[in-house]
Amino acid sequence: MLAVEVNHIFKSYAEKTAVDDLSFSVAQGEIFGLIGPNGAGKTTTIRMMLDIIKPDSGEVTILGKKLDEATKNSLGYLPEERGLYKKLRVMESIVYLASLKGMNPRTAAEKAGPLLAQMDMLSSQRKKIEELSKGMGQIIQFIVTIIHDPQLIILDEPFSGLDPVNTELIKKMLVDLRNQGKAIILSMHQMNQVEELSDRILMVNKGKAVLYGDLAEIKTKYRSNAVLLDFEGELGEVPGVAEKREHKGYVELVLDDKTTPNQLLERLVSRSIVINRFEIATPPLNEIFLKVVGDEHE
């Protein structure tokens, strides 16, 4: 059963089309990157998935059916801009919001303890939300998102405002959750962060899908015939290299159409150069995005 299935959804406000015929699916046990620049329609798409707003047309199924109270209990959502009841204490907030997901308050309190400890926030459990820093508030909201063991987790810009330590901690938790079979949707505009976590992606621009599929396949498809090389010694002229771009600590060799990376490696080895790094260059997602959007404009 698919965690999410979105079929041809449209949504427009006044004169602006926010989402324009979007279709995609998310399987269980995968991290799915929903990426695109600010204002691309990511958040509107998520809100339609969660039935917070209705699409003008099209269909959304969550965990095999239309969203109802039971399925709402099986999903966790971290919205882009975070907020909790300022006057409520940390533990009260977690327990109340978990109980709205059908969780027994006592179970929620028991489960919140270890999660707070894992995030090094156990000592703050009696603090009021307004006493926490922005980052700490975000961690509480992340706990609220996952505490009820949801099958589908939707995170809108989950790392914004988090320090590197907590970012890494949450990334690790997300990978663990994926390995437990949960479906995770990461909506982000910073594409490089999605690259390291996502199995598949949907890239949107101006409400439309511009790229959709397996991340590795997409990167292979948009791969330029280039190699990143860190070496010691004199490189000189190498046959098959059309262009040489110097970077700090390495050089990027763009190959001509007739040369493969394997052939280049053989040639380099034969020259007795000490090779520290030899990597087939794959373009970062934002470069792919710029290329795709640029192509569309042409």
Partner 1 sequence: MNKTLLIFNHEFRTTLRRTAFIIMTFIVPLIALLGIGAYHVISGAVKPSEEITGIGYVDNLGGFDQYTSQGNIRLVPFNSSDEASKGLVTKDIKGYFVISPDYLNTGLINFYTLEKQLVPPPATLSAIKDFLSSNLLAGKVPQPTIDLVKAPLNLISIRVTETGAVSPEQGGYGNLLVPGIFSLLLVLSIMFSSSYLIQGMGDEKENRLIEVLLSSVSVRQLLIGKVLGLGAAGLVQVVVWVISTPFLLGLASSSIGGFLKTLVVPPSFYILCVVYFILGYLLFAMISTAIGAISPSAREGQQLATIFTLPSVAPLWFSSAIMLFPNSPVWVVLTIFPITAPVTLMMRLGSTDVAAWQIGLSILVLLLSIAGGLLLTARIVRTYLLMYGKRPGLGEIIRNLRNG
Stretch touching partner 1 by CB under 8 A, among 51-59, 109-117, 182-190, 203-211: 51-59
What x-and-dash track marks residues 68-107 binding partner 1 by CB under 8 A? -x--xx-x-x-xxxxxxxxxx-------xx-xxx------
- Measured CA to CA, the distance from residue 239 to residue 253 in angstroms comes to 11
Residue closer to partner 1 (CB basis): 72 or 291: 72
Burial of residue 257, with CB atoms counted within 10 A of its CB: 0-12 exposed, 13-18 middle, 19 or more buried: exposed
Positions in 135-164 near partner 1 (CB under 8 A): 141, 144
- Candidates 8, 16, 54, 244; binder of partner 1 (CB under 8 A) is 54
CB 98 to partner 1: min, Å:
9
- Candidates 11, 42, 47, 200; binder of partner 1 (CB under 8 A) is 47
CB 117 to partner 1: min, Å:
23
Task: Identify the CA nearest to 140 among candidates 85, 187, 69, 73.
Answer: 85
- Measured CA to CA, the distance from residue 174 to residue 124 in angstroms comes to 23
Residue closer to partner 1 (CB basis): 97 or 268: 97
Element at 217 (helix H, strand E)? helix 215-221
CB 149 to partner 1: min, Å:
14
The strands making up 241-247's β-sheet, listed across from edge to edge, are: 241-247, 250-255, 226-232, 274-280
CB 134 to partner 1: min, Å:
12
Tokens 């050089």, residue located:
251
What x-and-dash track marks residues 14-43 binding partner 1 by CB under 8 A? ------------------------------
Residue closer to partner 1 (CB basis): 47 or 178: 47
- Measured CA to CA, the distance from residue 85 to residue 68 in angstroms comes to 25
Contact status: 134 vs partner 1 (CB under 8 A)? no
- Measured CA to CA, the distance from residue 100 to residue 85 in angstroms comes to 14
Burial of residue 76, with CB atoms counted within 10 A of its CB: 0-12 exposed, 13-18 middle, 19 or more buried: buried
List residues near partner 1 by CB under 8 A.
Answer: 47, 50-54, 69, 72-73, 75, 77, 79-88, 96-97, 99-101, 141, 144
